[in-house]
Chain A
Amino acid sequence: MSVILWLTVILFILMKIVGGDKGIKAFFALFLNFAVFSVSIIVLSFHKNVLTITLIACAIICVINLFFISEINAKTMAAFISTITTLLVLILFIFLIEKKAMIQGFGEEEGEEIGSFSLYIGINFTKIAICTLIMSTIAAIIDISISISSSMNELFAYNPSLSKKNLFYSGLNVGRDILGTTTNTLYFAFLGGYLTLILWFKSLPYSFGDVINSKVFSSEVISILTGGIGVAISIPVTAWISAYILAGRRRKKSGQTARHSG
């Protein structure tokens, strides 16, 4: 049996033991997410509209992680809208940076790897770079959105008289509390993947200037920083959208009671 299969079986057993039914659900969600990822790459290979496909893939991933893991309710709905909004802001931001920094595609250091391939394959690699960055942070953004919107819902349930502004600020506070750990998760995941690259640059005679201006290095730096930015901006976005939805729900409710009593 291959390494991957063994590790998958071990993970499944552990998730079942530790998480019970929830663990099994989480395992299947993980599997489904990977399936969506694979299918979207295949679609990207013959369909030109990269950004639309990326957004659709992200929306499906949101559906799996929010509506399949929990259910469709006010919390998950708010998290869904917030995640998509954050992604749109992030896409715009990456698009501007990417245009200037030109970090798309492959670097000179990868020449040996890609030497045997035809590079004129008619795919817009600038957009692929945006897709890659968005996909690598999507799960982190979903996680922070659902954490904030659940806490705000709970808070609202205990204190239904909280003003929209206060709800927004408490959402920000919840987000701040988890900002450090979520960004850390991303930082280390990225850093772990860069070990070889850093060793490569360190062991070959590159000057500092060569390294920071090279395509491969600058694209890795920009990915790690955009990941942090994406997680951070999802905090006010989620807090605002959740506050808006909760305040709207209250208005509807008070309108109903007014009608009933009148």
Chain B
Amino acid sequence: MKTKFKGMPLKTFCVYILGILGFFLVVYFAYHDCFLYKKTIAEVITTKVVSREESVDLNHNKDTLFSQKMTARIKNGQYKGRLIHLNNSYSSSGAFEQKYHDGTELFVSVQKDRTGLKGTIGGVKRDKEILIVAGLFIFVLLAIGKKRGLLSIISLAINVVLLSFVLDLYLDHRNASLLLLCMGAVVLFTVVSLLLVGGNKEKTYVAILATLIGTFVSLLIAYAVIQLTDGAGLHYESMEFVTIPHQQIFMAEILVGALGAVMDVAITLTSSMYELYERNKAISLKALTAAGRKIGGDIMGAMTNILLFAYVSGTIPMILLYLKNNSPLIYTFSVNLSLELARALTGSIGIVLTIPITLYLSRLFIYRKGDKR
């Protein structure tokens, strides 16, 4: 009999303990990693609100503005251990600046005068929060998903590294087409993700093929529509952080963004079709197709909704800023949502198109092997 601890195999128990220990080590490290930074970091020790003022802006929005004075201890560099005085102003809405609390770590630039050290704040140090969330993410996915959770984490990690690599490649060869590079990347993303999710089986390859066809056809449709209408109604100017031509990066975004949903549809459908066939090898072509279409109809709504909300939700803060600054409603929505909606719609077209493509391919492969009827 194997040793058990509270009903848990000893090995599993050790893995959990190691995982939790590892998590705390990483967090401990993140709290003490100031020596890695060249920029000066200071931890706020005391804060005091020195002024408070009601504000009404041109559009009659009421807000409260505060100023706070803080003392902070410098944690790295030549002034390590010394105290520094900082000033901060913020509003109660906190759209841009925020209130700092005791214990907040800030990047500061230091000026020396006769009374001591003064500084200006250059930003908040957020690395430990990211590590904590990442640690919790890994913990939750492993604890709940076990092996599936691990595969989901690996899939995310590989895809992020791949994407980063492709973008580096693009930046090194500026004359290369980002869209073409992303198309290459999409093939890799699909193969890697679906092999991780579905395993090395025939149905996985059918799903890969269906995903690629579905994705590229939907991209082609979006491209054709944009060309034919000359991009009417698309507000490329609302894109943030743009360093290269708008349309190119927009098409690349469409391509990558819809991929996950299209893969989901393809693998769900192929799995169901293969399982139906395995359970009852005598199933007729017609019955199998009908069953596949029914499943396709069921998942279509859910998948298109996931894409819609994942895309449009990010625009909420900006839309509110527009509306509160008295921008007209229709104008605000069309400027902020046109690109997101175009992406969600193209992705949805991809999802719907992938259903018949997957059905057709699965049928082809299922009836190719074994008895042909």
Contact = CB atoms under 8 A, between A and B. Distances in A.
Interface of A: 1-8, 10-11, 14-15, 18-20, 22-23, 25-26, 29-30, 33-34, 37-38, 41-42, 44-45, 61, 65, 69, 97, 100-106, 108-110, 113-114, 117-126, 128-129, 131-133, 135-140, 142-143, 146, 172, 175-193, 195-200, 202-204, 207, 209, 212-216, 218, 221-229, 232-233, 235-236
8 contacts: A7-B349, A11-B345, A20-B297, A120-B61, A132-B317, A140-B306, A182-B264, A198-B164
Interface stretch (B67-75, B254-262, B277-285): B254-262
A106 B316 CA distance: 12
Contact of A18 (B37, B148, B310, B356): B356
Given A11-B345, A25-B301, A233-B140, A188 B260 contact: yes
Contacts of B287: none
Interface of B: 36-39, 55, 57-59, 61-63, 65, 91-96, 98, 104, 107, 123-127, 129-130, 132-134, 136-137, 140-141, 144-149, 151-152, 155-156, 159-160, 163-164, 167-168, 170-171, 189, 193, 196-197, 221-222, 225-226, 228-229, 231-234, 239-244, 249, 252-261, 263-264, 267-268, 293, 296-298, 300-314, 316-325, 329, 333, 338, 341-343, 345-349, 352-353, 355-356
Provide the main secondary structure of the chain B interface. Answer: helix
Contact of B307 (A181, A185, A212): A185
B321 A114 contact: yes
The 9 A-B residue pairs whose C-beta atoms are closest, nearest first, are: A192-B257, A2-B233, A188-B260, A26-B301, A101-B129, A200-B241, A136-B313, A121-B324, A189-B310
Given A7-B349, A128-B317, A184 B197 contact: yes
Contacts of B234: 2-4
Nearest to A20: B297
B343 A192 contact: yes
A136 B309 CA distance: 5
Contacts of A15: 300, 352
B163 A33 contact: no
A14 B357 CA distance: 13
A51 B23 CA distance: 31
Contact of A135 (B39, B193, B307, B313): B313
B130 to A, nearest CB: 5
Contact of B232 (A1, A44, A187): A1
A164 B303 CA distance: 30
B268 to A, nearest CB: 7
Given A15-B300, A126-B94, A218-B129, A183 B152 contact: yes
